[in-house]
Amino acid sequence: MKRILHFIVLVAALLWTSGTYAVEPLEIEQDEGANPWTHLKVNNQSKNFQFAIVSDRTGGRRPGVFADAIRKVNLLQPEFVLCVGDLIEGYTKDKQELQKQWEELDELVRQLEMPFFYVPGNHDISNPVMRETWKKRYGRCYYHFIYHKVLFLCLNSESGQYEKSGHLSEGQLKYFAGILNRHQNVRYTLVFLHKPLWESNAKNWADFEALLGDREYMVFAGHKHTYAKQVRNDRSYIRLGTTGGNNKVWSVETDRSNAIRLGKFDHVMWVTMREDGPRIANLILDGIWDEDVTPFFIASTLEFLKRQLDQGRVIESTPIPVAEAFFREGQTKVDYTNFAPLPLTITLRVQNHGEVKIMPATMELQVLPFSTKPLHLAVTSDSAVPPEELAPLVLISTLRYSFPLKPAYTCTLTHKIPFRKIPSGQTIKKSKRSN
């Protein structure tokens, strides 16, 4: 015998004005004996909700990563998105430049299909001109809101004259003291700020923690571009990694597992607020794709890659120094940068000339996603060559990206490495020009 089980699932938020709920039934035929499911306690309580957190975009921004995160957050469809600051490069008093940087950021944020809550970082409001720009565009630099009886506190860690180390101003402390006093019966409190002030014993941070008291809370920050979790006062304090900001681990040869172990990764934090508190999931960006993965992936990767090629940003090198009257030997450093979210294979051929050469003359290397591969090349000559006879060495690099079930994308770049006469002991900077 079968019976119809009507299981009521709460799927909408409490309507605060009317005190009513919106409900939707789950209807399924259930046998009295065995059934092909574990249970019907659907994980969809009315108080559960999901939101996303993005981290540092700047402080050595890697183009394209934050934009990629915005697209992928739209795939995830959280109820809203928060940040932990450092949204622009900043550190300028040029108002036009600040407007340009903020407009670029806002153009990205406007692509979100849900609300975005701003939190300032040191790159955003580190001088009076930047603070005034923030005020005109976004108003308050600290505030609060409540959602499903969860209190969200958005702090400004860049107050007053202590920008370098960060601290909370007296006025800010007073504001949050009032907020916390008025909302003592919320079910949870979540705190967002840019600098992890608890790590530096910053001014007024202990006072702020005292205000939190014994309520249930969790703290989120960024700034250091390295993921870490700490437990203080039996509460979780989380420092996020990056969402496009400088991430030095990608500048050295390493594997993905080691990067994650070191906390050096681009991610979006996914928070599910449950009755028993937040559940945290760190979503590494290159693991999130839409339902039609291959065409989207290829189109977006190639479009972005071609922009980097046009700008000559893929290959950089240092000129070969000539410190004596005749050249015998020297070296150059060539940096290959991969701006795409998949490995880059490079076949390199050196077009040697005359008696000046690089050995081996051909080689192959791989560059990890969003990373730079340094290549140190020794340059030698079989005989002493006057500087005026040294023509630039030519590197011919074939770049290859392999896509699943699709033809690989390849292109060839010609890069010239000049010789440069310098005083003995002096070093020279790298030059760009990759095609």
Instruction: Tell me what pLDDT residue 15 has.
Output: 33
d(CA 267, CA 252): 19
Please list, in sequence order, all residues whose beta carbon lies within 8 angstroms of the beta carbon of residue 210, skipping any fewer than 6 positions away.
none
H helix intervals, 262-407: 293-310
Domains 49-288 and 314-421 share a fold: no
Instruction: Tell me what pLDDT residue 229 has.
Output: 95
Q: Is domain 49-288 annotated with CATH 3.60.21.10?
A: yes
DSSP-derived pairing of the beta strands 362-367 and 344-351: antiparallel
Every domain of the chain and the residues it spans: 1-43, 49-288, 314-421
Instruction: Tell me what pLDDT residue 9 has.
Output: 36
Whether omega before 360 lies within 30 degrees of 0, making that bond cis, reads: yes
Q: Which of 5, 77, 79 is nearest to 42 (CA)?
A: 5
Look at domain 314-421 and name its CATH class: mainly beta
* pLDDT per residue of the chain (435 residues) written in tens, 0 to 9: 444 444 333 333 333 333 333 335 688 888 989 999 888 888 888 889 999 999 999 988 888 899 999 999 999 999 999 999 999 999 999 999 999 999 999 999 999 999 999 999 999 998 999 999 999 999 999 999 999 999 999 999 997 554 456 889 999 999 999 999 999 999 999 999 999 999 988 889 999 999 999 999 999 999 999 999 999 999 999 999 999 998 765 443 445 667 788 888 999 999 999 999 999 999 998 788 777 665 556 666 667 777 777 766 789 898 988 888 888 888 899 999 888 777 889 999 988 777 788 888 889 999 988 788 899 989 988 888 888 888 888 999 998 887 766 677 788 888 898 888 877 555 555 555 444
Instruction: Tell me what pLDDT residue 127 has.
Output: 92
* The model's pTM: 0.67
Phi, psi angles (nearest 5°) of residue 340: -100, 160
Instruction: Tell me what pLDDT residue 19 has.
Output: 36
The residues facing 380 across adjacent strands are 329, 357
Instruction: Tell me what pLDDT residue 2 has.
Output: 45
Angstrom CA distances, 173 to 93, 110, 176, 236, stand at: 28, 31, 5, 21
Decide: residue 38, CB within 10 A, 0-12 exposed, 13-18 middle, 19+ buried.
exposed
Please list, in sequence order, all residues whose beta carbon lies within 8 angstroms of the beta carbon of residue 379, skipping any fewer than 6 positions away.
320, 329, 330, 331, 332, 356, 357, 358, 393
Instruction: Tell me what pLDDT residue 356 has.
Output: 85
